Structure 1
Amino acid sequence: MKTIIFRLSLLLCVSLFSIQLSAQSYDKILGKVNMKKEAWFGEKEAREIADHILFYQNEDGGWPKNFDMAKEPDLERMAKLKIEGSHLLASTIDNGATHTQMWFLAKVFEATGEKRYKSAFLKGIDYLLEAQYENGGWPQFYPLRDGYYEHITLNDGAMIGVMKLLRSIANAEEPVDFVDKKRMGKARRAVEKGVDVLLKMQVPVNGELTIWCAQHDEETLLPAKARAYELISLSGQESVGVIEFLMDIENPGDKVQRAIRSAVKWYEENKIMGEKVVWIDDPSYSEGKDRIIVKDPNGGPLWGRFNDIETGKPMFVGRDGIIKSHLDEIEQERRVGYNYIDSYAQYLLEVEYPKWEAKY
């Protein structure tokens, strides 16, 4: 028992560190939404960040990604990007964009009562509702951008992040309980459609439901390819977020329960034990480090981020788009720059799912 508790504690620390790195890499406000005490959102620093967020909001109501909105905007750069019509300014739900800014604004509005934050939040709701496909999915970019950006996007928690926010709105939960009833109703219907398409997208193999791909075709709902190293596969990372969202549904119907149990069964049957991922110093590379997999009797469970649909085995794919069986077969730049294998579902299997199963 002590070993399990230690491993779960370590996993939680790693997860929090990963969230912190994501915030540093993409948008500093990601780390502030859940890590700051409520009183902080009424202070000067929070209001300044909220004003930066207002500056970055597009006319369509959404936000771009990969701007550090905790810092003063670079007006010269922004003006240049606008003149160029750069896609860097396009509204998206990728990398936590839009729904994260909305959570922040909601907390600042709750703390200050300043209406400009509420107005921007409501405009964001309208954007998310308009961006939803009729079948219930969300594209990575809206207005639509040609290419894999049009796919229904689960990658990096994009669609699930939107649905979590809309569900909180529909349920009038703090700090988004100020939303009008009309938008609440629309949010509720959007979530219902989203759940419906999630169930339809769950990948069947030999008559058994498994998990989800990181993105699905917006018309056929079949698994779809994104970048060269993001091939059609079963996603060990993104599917965890889908399962967690489904487990939060009150009084789930038979279809939802079947989806959850089938997905958990896939994780149980395809976990890798006796191995672990480690970072090593390697001065032969410019970064001075590498990431490798080593044998360890106490290692695991691990799952691939991309897994072969038929076999469930991890796929390691570099920028050449060629599937390899082992991490050390792809280029070092990808090994250290992308997370191909991890303990994605450990907390789900050892803590979250048993609690859910005990209820249903």
Structure 2
Amino acid sequence: MNSLPKNNLYIKISLLLLFMVQAMSTFAQNIEKVPWKRINEQPDTWYESEEAIRIAENMLLHQKDIGGWYKNIDMSVQLSEEEKSRLRKDKSSNMGATLDNDAGFIQIAFLSKTYRETKDPRFSQAVFKALDYMMDAQYENGGWPQYYPIREGYYEHITFNDGAMIQVMQLLRNVADGKKTYDFVDADRKQRAQKAIEKGLEIILRTQIKVDGTLTAWCAQYDKDDLSPAKARAYELPSISGSESVGIVRYLMAIENPEPKVVQAIESAIAWFEVVKLEGIKLVQKEDETLPRGYDRIVVKDETAGPLWARFYEIGTNRPMFVGRDSVVRYALHEIEHERRVGYSYLGPYAKELLESDYPEWKRRMGD
């Protein structure tokens, strides 16, 4: 039997070992790489890893001098030295700092978890700065705008839209309560957070829309001065929200030992959700290659379908509203332009879990 020359054998073994090392390295990188939307869902020990620290340092670079962040940025991506330099120079550009689209909330939670594992003071200081930003952004009457510093236009409205104000209040409540992730926050900030959520609760109760003497639910945004339901974008008119109101009610339900006025707000909103639910219809996606996105969204009859709620209800009539970019109120989804039908959420099972599980559980906790 012929045997391989020694040098050929060594070469083959070396190549095999090299391949194995590269494969193991790639495997390890794939395990370490975490999607941006899941960076706050990792085991505690992961937050002291090189990857976690790299992401945290990216967040420090993106954080503006005022303490907030711009929205819609994946801060887990690798940054070049040129990009890092640009971010350092842009830190004073504060006008885009916002509470919209989870901006700040992802970063504060992540930096807090990374600080608790690494004890690196850079991360705790960034959290303190961000918390101060959020509390500074609160209006004297207790509401929060979408952008801070204040940006003129609908951005300055008190904003429940997309959960902005409720996310702030949930975060500050966790801080005030000394929840595990935020147990390193100092007593002064905890006390300030408590006062902020107390003021926020008052504005929630004051803005619950009353129709013919009956409390209903909430608009997605309010005028910061007179607290009237306000218009935001062209297709977001003053209305009662079947979506944003769900988050508000859940926030109220989480209050320990609620006062009677809080209980009344919850019960009234739940009753309204029951009245306005839409049954016997279903929202479906219909494939259509002749349309720009290749599909349409249509409403069809289906007696077996679960309930839906409209994103917007007309104040005073409870009629579902469908509004396109022309700001004209229509009462059927198919009557607005295709681009809005497929590019925005006008109907959904928004309050399904609230009514079927959250509310019954809350009633049990209340002893009913």
3-state SS, counterpart of residue 51 of structure 2: helix
Matched, 1:334 2:340: yes
Partner of 2:226: 220
Partner of 1:191: 197
Q: 1:84 to 1:334 in 2, by over 3 A?
A: farther
Match of 1:162 among 165, 168, 177: 168
Identity among equivalent positions (%) equals 49
C-alpha displacement of 1:298: 1.2
Structure-1 separation of matches of 2:88 and 2:95 = 8
3-state SS, counterpart of residue 150 of structure 2: coil
Q: Which moved more, 1:224-233 or 1:103-112?
A: 103-112
Q: Deviations over 1:39-95 (max 9, x none)?
A: 222222222111111111000011111111121347767877998999896111000
Contact kept? 2:64, 2:94, Cα under 8 Å: no
Structure-2 separation of matches of 1:95 and 1:248 = 23
Contact kept? 1:30, 1:100, Cα under 8 Å: no
Letter in 2 for 1:229: Y
Matched, 1:242 2:240: no
3-state SS, counterpart of residue 286 of structure 2: strand
C-alpha displacement of 1:293: 1.1
1:1-360 superposed matches below 5 A: 31-73=37-79, 90-360=96-366
Q: Deviations over 1:83-109 (max 9, x none)?
A: 899989611100011122111111111
Q: 1:41 to 1:78 in 2, by over 3 A?
A: closer
Structure-1 separation of matches of 2:238 and 2:90 = 34
Q: 1:86 to 1:226 in 2, by over 3 A?
A: farther
Q: 1:171 to 1:215 in 2, by over 3 A?
A: same
Q: Which moved more, 1:63-72 or 1:211-220?
A: 63-72
Contact kept? 2:36, 2:75, Cα under 8 Å: no
Q: Deviations over 1:114-164 (max 9, x none)?
A: 111100000011111111001100000111000000000000000011111
Structure-1 separation of matches of 2:79 and 2:95 = 13
C-alpha displacement of 1:35: 2.9
Question: RMSD over aligned Cα, in angstroms?
Answer: 2.1
Structure-1 separation of matches of 2:48 and 2:86 = 33
3-state SS, counterpart of residue 175 of structure 1: helix
Letter in 1 for 2:210: P
Structure-1 separation of matches of 2:130 and 2:353 = 32
The size of the alignment, in residue pairs, is 333
Q: Deviations over 1:155-206 (max 9, x none)?
A: 0000011111100000000110100001100000000000011000100001
Structure-1 separation of matches of 2:259 and 2:158 = 24
Letter in 2 for 1:149: Y
Structure exhibiting the larger radius of gyration computed from Cα positions:
2
3-state SS, counterpart of residue 47 of structure 2: helix
Letter in 1 for 2:59: I
Q: TM-score, normalised by structure 2?
A: 0.86
Structure-2 separation of matches of 1:81 and 1:111 = 26
Contact kept? 1:29, 1:101, Cα under 8 Å: no
Structure-2 separation of matches of 1:297 and 1:271 = 14
Contact kept? 2:36, 2:76, Cα under 8 Å: no
Letter in 2 for 1:246: L
Structure-2 separation of matches of 1:194 and 1:88 = 24
C-alpha displacement of 1:308: 0.7
Contact kept? 2:94, 2:149, Cα under 8 Å: no
Structure-1 separation of matches of 2:81 and 2:303 = 54
Structure-1 separation of matches of 2:47 and 2:86 = 32
Structure-2 separation of matches of 1:314 and 1:134 = 33
Runs of 4+ residues deviating >3 angstroms: 73-89
Structure-2 separation of matches of 1:167 and 1:341 = 30
Q: Which moved more, 1:339-348 or 1:103-112?
A: 103-112
Structure-1 separation of matches of 2:83 and 2:62 = 12
Structure-1 separation of matches of 2:240 and 2:195 = 28
Q: Deviations over 1:301-348 (max 9, x none)?
A: 111111111111211111111111111111111111111100000000
Partner of 2:6: none
